[in-house]
Amino acid sequence: GAGVSQSPSNKVTEKGKDVELRCDPISGHTALYWYRQSLGQGLEFLIYFQGNSAPDKSGLPSDRFSAERTGGSVSTLTIQRTQQEDSAVYLCASSFRQGRGDTIYFGEGSWLTVV
Amino acid sequence: DAKTTQPPSMDCAEGRAANLPCNHSTISGNEYVYWYRQIHSQGPQYIIHGLKNNETNEMASLIITEDRKSSTLILPHATLRDTAVYYCIVRDAGGTSYGKLTFGQGTILTVHP
């Protein structure tokens, strides 16, 4: 596709339910990043993928959060037993490679509201 | 990580140039300076990046000082739609940091008529 695509764009879920957020990176991009942004806050790094491997998971806030990537393309971020503090916009980004000089492009995000 | 310092807010008149400063005094020789902007809570939009030479594209110009300790993003003719939060980021040089972007608080630029 032309850009990073995320779905759903909006999700309202009940506390305690599991949710899955999907990211389709730009075709050919091997590096993929997940961030989240709570209301009025800055962007917080969650996890990085290079191909299907996740060498940096340091930003995942708890073991309720997990992510996978298959075929070097689509990635899914899963939040189990959602809590109200998980409410945020979850942003996915991708780049061609891990290099310092390439450009990282962001999707429009998935807005998650836990009620 | 090299850190950046930006003014929390700036104003600019429509049609005038907006000059957004950024200090990054601890930048390493192989680290790039990136600029992104975010309108409301949309995904951050890439603007420009550079290593040590000045850069220009259709959106903006990036001026990096010779010692690389600071830079300025220039929007040559600001419009109301340029109102956004602008982030200056020094990108990790890879290795165990994997080149991720670390966002600070940015500068809220308000363009007024």
User: Nearest CA to CA, how far is A108 from chain B (Å)?
Assistant: 4
**Is pLDDT of B39 > 60?**
yes
Residues of chain B that touch chain A, judged by Cβ-Cβ distance less than 8 Å? 30-32, 34, 36, 41-46, 49, 51, 91, 93-94, 96-106
Using a CB–CB cutoff of 8 Å, tell me whether A112 touches chain B: no
Which A positions 8-47 lie with beta carbon below 8 A of chain B? 31, 33, 35, 37, 39, 42-43, 45
- For chain B, what percent of residues have pLDDT higher than 70? 93
Mind giving me the DSSP string for B62-95? EEE-TTSSEEEEEESS--GGG-EEEEEEEPP-SG
The pLDDT value recorded for residue B18 is: 98
How confident is the model at residue A26, as a pLDDT? Answer: 95
Whether residue A31 and residue B93 make contact (CB cut-off 8 A), yes or no, is no
pLDDT, mean of residues A60-71: 96
> Quick one: what percent of chain B has pLDDT higher than 90?
75
Residues facing B45 on adjacent strands: B37
How many other CB atoms are there within 10 angstroms of residue B63's CB atom? 16
Give the DSSP letter string of A1-43: --S-EEE-SEEEE-TT--EEEEEEPPTT--EEEEEEE-TT--E
The CA–CA distances, whole Å, from A12 to A54, A110, B7, B23, B61 equal 28, 11, 36, 40, 40
**Range scoring the smallest mean pLDDT among A65-74, B9-18, B97-106:** B97-106
pLDDT for residue B92 is more than 80: no
Identify the CA nearest to A34 among candidates B79, A25, A26.
A25
pLDDT per position as a tens digit, A13-49: 999 999 999 999 999 999 999 999 998 888 999 999 9
**What percentage of chain A has pLDDT greater than the value 70?**
97
Angle in degrees, CA B12, B6, B86, rounded to 5: 60
Cβ separation B51–A101 shorter than 8 A: yes
pLDDT reported for residue A40: 82
Predicted local distance difference test score (pLDDT) of residue B76? 97
Q: How far apart, in Å, do the first and last CA atoms of chain A sit? A: 33
Residue A86: strand, helix, or coil: helix
Reply yes or no on whether the pLDDT at B17 is more than 90.
Answer: yes
Both tokens of A55, joined, read 């060498």
Q: Check whether B106 has a pLDDT greater than 60.
A: yes
Please check the confidence at residue B2 and state whether its pLDDT lies above 60: no
Residue B82, φ and ψ in degrees, nearest 5: -85, -5
Ranges A1-5, A63-67, A98-102, B97-101, most confident: A63-67
pLDDT band at A100 (very low <50, low <70, confident <90, very high): low
Mean pLDDT (chain B, rounded): 91
Which whole number is the average pLDDT over B60-71? 96
pLDDT attached to residue B91: 86
